[in-house]
Amino acid sequence: MKLIALEEAFWYDGLETDGTIEGRSPVKPVKQADWERRLGDFTEFRLPEMDEAGIDMQVLSLTAPGIQMQPDPKVAVADARAANDFLAAVVRERPDRFQGLAAVPLQDPDQAVAELRRAVDELGLCGVLVNDHTLGHYLDEPRYAPFWEALQQLGVALYLHPNPVPSDAWHVLEGYPGLDHALWSWNHRTGGHALRLIFGGVFDRFPGAQVILGHMGEFLPAQLFRVDIRFRDLDPQYQNHLEKPPSAYFGANIAITTSGVFSHPALMDAVQTIGVDNVMFSVDYPYEESVPAAEFMRTAPLAPADKARVAYGNAERILRLDR
């Protein structure tokens, strides 16, 4: 069975922005070192692991936090261009195995639009990945309206990925650094950002916009029933004049991937909640292992046609990989 994985990280050492979060990470040093060794590689480790797992294509993206926390807008612009040029060169070397999601310098919204257009129209990248907030700014803010307009016009998706650097402190996590990581808080912060997009009316203003959430939807599919019920009971002044219930934006504007969540019950819950056409296979390489991820997909309790949609068909359609 064909497999396309679309939350697969890389790093490029030619950037001024520091790409590591050493000193913050509670992960074992040996594991951190292994990840860093694999992030910059495309042939020694990556392709052999893809071959062993039977993964046909990785859609590559600059690992978190990417350039999202670069305080100098000019550096962010230069690094986004350099990262995208490097990524496009990797894709040109093996277009049968790799595609790419662009980095964008949202520190300067006008430059982000320009780089998005260049990455898609000139470099041939298939979308964009943003690591949650950019220096504390969220994508529902009015300053990003031209960026959403460009995404909609170009017809490319935005992958909203966690940012390991929090925008503020959650006191509930104090003393438990393991919780302030991929284990728990990253998912909730990113899911909160997605809810900001819904409640901020982004998809009402830009109905053609497409967002992708990883990690089985950052916990949101399992909560959508409750979100709708509690939304219904809000005082109208807090409903923000949304055109439809929050859950209705899933499928219409939001799709998800399985990255890092290789659980058949979680998969079936997502498929039943938001529809099989809105769930896509991903690994989260190198942070997760490709072989068990592929086995999870191949043994999923789905009808063959539905399994094919999740394994590769939805990715080809949403990212326009078959163009």
Clarify whether 277 is annotated catalytic: no
Contacts 24+ apart (CB under 8 A), 71-74: 71/107, 71/135, 72/107, 73/105, 73/107, 73/108, 73/111
Catalytic residue among 140, 284, 306, 322: 284
Q: Which of 87, 82, 127 is nearest to 255 (CA)?
A: 127
Residues making up the chain, counted from first to last? 323
| CA angle centred on 284, ends 180 and 118, rounded to 5° | 105
3-state helix, strand, coil in the chain (%, to 5): 45, 10, 40
**Hey, is 28 helix, strand or coil?**
coil
Residues 6+ apart with CB under 8 A from 164: 21, 24, 25, 64, 65, 181, 182, 186
At residue 251, the pLDDT reads 95
Q: How far apart, in whole angstroms, are the C-alpha atoms of residue 78 and residue 68?
A: 13
Structure tokens at 274: 């938001």
Q: Are 86 and 119 in contact (CB under 8 A)?
A: no
| Domains of the chain with CATH codes | 4-318 (3.20.20.140)
Q: Are 149 and 123 in contact (CB under 8 A)?
A: no
Tens digits of pLDDT across the chain (323 residues) = 999 999 999 999 999 998 755 446 788 889 889 999 999 999 999 999 999 999 999 999 999 999 999 999 999 999 999 999 999 999 999 999 999 999 999 999 999 999 999 999 999 999 999 999 999 999 999 999 999 999 999 999 999 999 999 999 899 999 999 998 899 999 999 999 999 999 999 999 999 999 999 999 999 999 999 999 999 999 998 889 999 999 999 999 999 999 999 999 999 999 999 999 999 999 999 999 999 999 999 999 999 999 999 999 999 999 999 76
pTM beyond 0.75: the answer is: yes
Amino acid at 161: H
